[in-house]
A and B are shown apart, each in its own frame.
Chain A
Amino acid sequence: MHLTPEEWQALRLSLTVSLRAVAVSLPLAAAMALLLARGRFPGRTLLDAVVHLPLVVPPVVTGWLLLLVFGLRGPVGAPLAEWFGIRLAFTSEGAALATGVMTFPLIVRAIRLSLDGLDRGLEDAAATLGAGRLDRFLTVTLPLMAPGLLSGAVVAFAAGLGEFGAVITFASNIPGETQTLPLAIYSATQSPGGEAVAARLAAISFALAILGLLASDLLSRWLARRLGRG
């Protein structure tokens, strides 16, 4: 299939935005999943709900809220720009941020599933064998969380490739900067004679989604074998 440089750019941008989003949100999501699964503190239910908001709030609203907070005049955006020269709104970093926020709950959910299935007795056993807190986390908890981390990351990456509403609201639709695949498809459908471009890009999106699902399935099977459950 022949792609124009602009189309290649959209594809590359989608991949990097989604990758960066996952890379940043994965450790945070793991910490959040641990906090929600094991923490006992007031407001846990509320925090749980807030984490899941991006799944139910219209993406455009999420994007707009991000604009309010991280925009050049926002409470976080202004100091970022002033002190560090970091601009998030209308940049590819901003697109990654919006994608990360949207896919965050997906990763948290996947990790929590694997944490719920984790026998805490194994950590107790490790403790009586002389393993300290960090040791137990690294040698028992983390390896057994791995299926959740991996499947969460893969699903979030695949979903991130298609993020539209939050990205276009917060980062706009700038070719080469924030115009990811779905935004490019949207632009193509809006321009006269763009049907062929839209169809090609749609086919790519479709293929990527299928690949993501396959990869996720293969990974979880491989891990199940590694963990001796297969």
Chain B
Amino acid sequence: MLEVALRHRFPGPAGFLLDAAFTAPAPGVTVLFGASGSGKSSILAAVAGLLRPQEGRIALHGQPLTDTAARHFLPPEARRCAMVFQEGRLFPHRSVEGNLRYGLRRAPRGAEGPGFGEVVDLLGLAPLLARRPARLSGGEKQRVALGRALLARPSLLLLDEPLAALDTPRRAEVLPFLEALRDTARLPMLYVTHAMEEADRLADTLVLLQGGRVQAAGPLEALTARTDLPLLATRRDAGVVLTCEVTGMERGLARLAFPGGTLLAPLGDPLPGRHVRLRVRARDVAVARGAAPALSTDNTLPALLQSIEPAGERECFLRLGIGPSTLLARVTRDAVQRLALHPGEAVTALVNAVGGERG
């Protein structure tokens, strides 16, 4: 487990104050999510030991890394928190292989972790080994940076917007590697991003940051089901993320089981048994009273209307219980009045899964 509690005022006329505390379970991926300037990269730098906070305590697995009260500050090279930076930061004077071996050579003896060959295979680096970083594409650079960090055998992997400098196709090229890493390595990761899609696909725990403060922290699914977090709820793609298991195909759509029901969604042809994350956007969910007539929506689910929560002046969120799971529907207040919806009622949730995000 990683415990972070920091207070740091940055110099300058603006005097940005970072005042954040959260814990991140290990293993698992904790995503620090927020707009640029929300302090998320500074938190990562403090964990890495590259920023010395004025006040605070950072501990990994109970071992303090920074503890200003005890005047304790472990230098970055002794923390075993390897970092992947937005711009890769590969050593330009070393080949890809030289970059990869840089961390490996400095890993403590007996430290557990994947071997050189394993990392090269996992990240598909074999054809790049002899090249210089200047001759790599952006996506290749980030894969090498990831491999270099893994080979340092860290006890915590820090990723500072590793995909932000990449265009969409490159991002799609690197994301699966990160997912594979999350699924195979028992390595805890702290991941900074301002891209919701990356959070959806990678996060076990989400920490929402705004103006240097933690707005909320918790499991991704629980946070996406809340309507009181502007950072999430005011987004166009606001909606609950469900972790589903692929159970087969039906009429050309993937059948996805989640606690309380199943959904059909166009996901290509995923392997049965695979776990995928599905973001069910609130604006893709509608409700009907009683049984629904024939509709173009792919899914109809019996649901319990738990509460009606405000979303701006003319709209609101309907919180729908489907077994132990929750979905949010975004509808107009007018619709609530027309249907005379009241909490506690049984309704039918209509889920249009076309726009659902896969993960």
Contacts and interface: CB of A to CB of B under 8 A. Distances in A.
Chains A and B come from one and the same complex: yes
B76 A140 contact: no
A127 B77 contact: yes
Contact of B91 (A135, A140, A229): A140
Interface in A107-127: 119, 121-122, 124-127
Given A129-B149, A140-B91, A228 B133 contact: yes
Contacts of B158: 128
Nearest to B50: A124
Given A121-B85, A125-B85, A228-B133, A130 B93 contact: no
Contacts of B93: 143-144, 226-228
A131 B148 CA distance: 13
Interface string B69-84: 0000001110111110
A229 B75 contact: no
A124 B132 contact: no
A139 B133 contact: no
A128 B81 CA distance: 6
B135 interface: yes
Nearest to A144: B93
B77 A132 contact: yes
B2 interface: no
Contacts of B85: 121, 125
Interface string A218-230: 0000000011110
A121 B89 contact: yes
Nearest to B79: A128
Which residue of A121, A125, A143 has the most chain B CB atoms within 10 A of its CB atom? A125
B103 interface: yes
Contacts of B106: 129-131, 135
B315 to A, nearest CB: 44
A139 B87 contact: no
B198 to A, nearest CB: 21
Contacts of B343: none
Interface string B157-191: 01000000000000000000000000000000000
Contacts of A226: 93
A128 B135 contact: no
Interface string B9-30: 0000000000000000000000
Contact of B77 (A119, A131, A229): A131
B92 interface: yes
B83 A228 contact: no
Contact of B92 (A124, A131, A132, A229): A229
Contacts of A127: 48-50, 75-77
Nearest to B131: A228
A127 B154 CA distance: 12
Contacts of A128: 48-50, 76-77, 79, 81-83, 149, 152, 158
Nearest to A128: B83
Given A121-B87, A131-B77, A126 B102 contact: yes
A229 B134 contact: yes
A130 B152 contact: yes
B107 interface: yes
Contacts of A136: 77
Which residue of B81, B106, B148, B149 has the most chain A CB atoms within 10 A of its CB atom? B106
A144 B92 contact: yes
Contacts of B103: 129-130
Contact of A130 (B87, B107, B132, B135): B107
Contacts of B48: 124, 127-128
A118 to B, nearest CB: 10
Contacts of A131: 77, 102, 106
Interface in B92-121: 92-93, 102-103, 106-108
Contacts of B133: 228
A119 B89 contact: yes
Which residue of B81, B83, B91, B108 has the most chain A CB atoms within 10 A of its CB atom? B91
A129 B152 contact: yes
B50 A129 contact: no
B50 A139 contact: no
Contacts of B92: 122, 144, 227-229
Given A125-B85, A127-B77, 10 more contacts: A122-B91, A126-B91, A129-B102, A129-B106, A129-B149, A129-B152, A130-B80, A130-B82, A131-B77, A143-B93
The 9 A-B pairs of least Cβ separation, nearest first, read A130-B106, A228-B134, A228-B132, A127-B76, A129-B103, A125-B89, A128-B83, A129-B152, A228-B92
28 contacts: A119-B89, A121-B85, A122-B91, A122-B92, A124-B48, A124-B76, A127-B48, A127-B49, A127-B75, A127-B77, A128-B48, A128-B50, A128-B81, A128-B152, A129-B82, A129-B149, A130-B103, A130-B107, A130-B108, A130-B152, A131-B77, A131-B106, A135-B77, A140-B91, A144-B93, A226-B93, A227-B93, A228-B133
